[in-house]
Amino acid sequence: MKKLMLVILVGVVALLSACGQNANKGSNSGAAPEEKKEITVGFGVGTYEEQFRQSILPILEEKGYKVDIKTFSQNMQVNPAMKEGSIDASIFQSTAYMEAINKEIGADMVGIAYVPGAPQGLYSVKHTTLDDVKDGTTVAVPNDPVNQERALRILEELGWVKIKEGAGVEDFNINSMEPDKYKIDIKILDPAQILVSLEDVDYGVVNGNYIANAGKKITDALKIENTPMQHRIIVSINKKDENTQWAKDLKAAYESPEFEEYITGIEKYDGFILPEAWKTN
């Protein structure tokens, strides 16, 4: 009888122990995952990586983050990397460009902060004035729809071309425009190649970050765009990460007085469009 009671007692203890372990597993299964402190940030060609390394990175490292920086040779490589998860955030694109790519590749990116960005401008090494324009004048513009639409809006403002009514942004192409005062010969190039190709054309519309990156002045442009909000540069992430602490800390870094002081203290960023959030610093 004593042996029987001992066996029963051991069995009860084992059963209670197992139940306790299962209960603990159940209570942990619904717990929020631990916030990560290692993130990967992607960049295309331009000044945004330099801004990040010199000012944003120290702010994040002070908060305990380890950041891996990935630089892509072509902007078109960045967003697929975001979709597949090899980078957590990117700094290189506008809202309009991001939304176009979301539709094109089935991504779900959102913008969380504006970045000091350079406006597009019309530049030339052959001409010192816009008055030299005539039929047959060659103008280089970017090959992607969003930046091309921006570029041709500059030419439209000058009266060189007309944008057809109903022309979109995401599906913009050279057929979305027609001649106005002049029959302009439009040359379509990769955005990063226009600056180095100015010797081959009369004028070129260059994204301002390439101008700054080359050590030139944005204010040397013969015409500077008034950049609309949809074309201003943003920090973009996947929507699923929108409420993570690291995303909030990244946003805070870009809106911080420290980053504002860095940007406004460097001559090469003269002419950049500054974030509205800085008005409260």
The 10s digit of each residue's pLDDT in 42-98 is 998 778 999 999 999 999 999 999 999 999 988 889 999 999 999 999 999 999 899
Task: At 168, give phi and psi (nearest 5°).
Answer: -90, -170
Beta strands 203-206; 38-43: pairing state: unpaired
- Is the CATH number 1.10.1660.10 carried by domain 121-226? no
- Is the CATH number 3.40.190.10 carried by domain 38-117+230-278? yes
Distances (CA, A) of 172 to 4, 75, 148, 176, 205: 85, 18, 7, 6, 16
The pLDDT value recorded for residue 34 is 63
Check if the beta carbon of residue 180 is closer than 8 Å to that of residue 156: yes
What distance in Å separates the CA atoms of residue 228 and residue 117, rounded to the nearest whole number?
12
The residues spanned by each domain of the chain are 38-117+230-278, 121-226
The pLDDT value recorded for residue 171 is 85
Q: Do domains 38-117+230-278 and 121-226 have the same CATH topology?
A: yes
pTM for the structure as a whole = 0.75
The pLDDT value recorded for residue 13 is 43
Which residues of 194-266 form beta strands (DSSP E)?
203-206, 223-224, 233-238
What pLDDT tens digit does each residue of the chain (281 aa) get?
A: 444 444 444 444 444 444 444 444 443 444 344 689 999 999 987 789 999 999 999 999 999 999 999 999 888 899 999 999 999 999 999 998 999 899 999 999 999 999 998 899 999 999 999 999 999 999 999 998 989 999 999 999 999 999 999 888 878 999 999 999 999 999 999 998 999 999 999 999 999 989 988 889 898 999 999 888 999 999 999 999 999 999 999 999 999 999 999 999 998 888 899 999 999 99
147-169 tens-digit pLDDT: 999 999 999 999 999 999 988 88
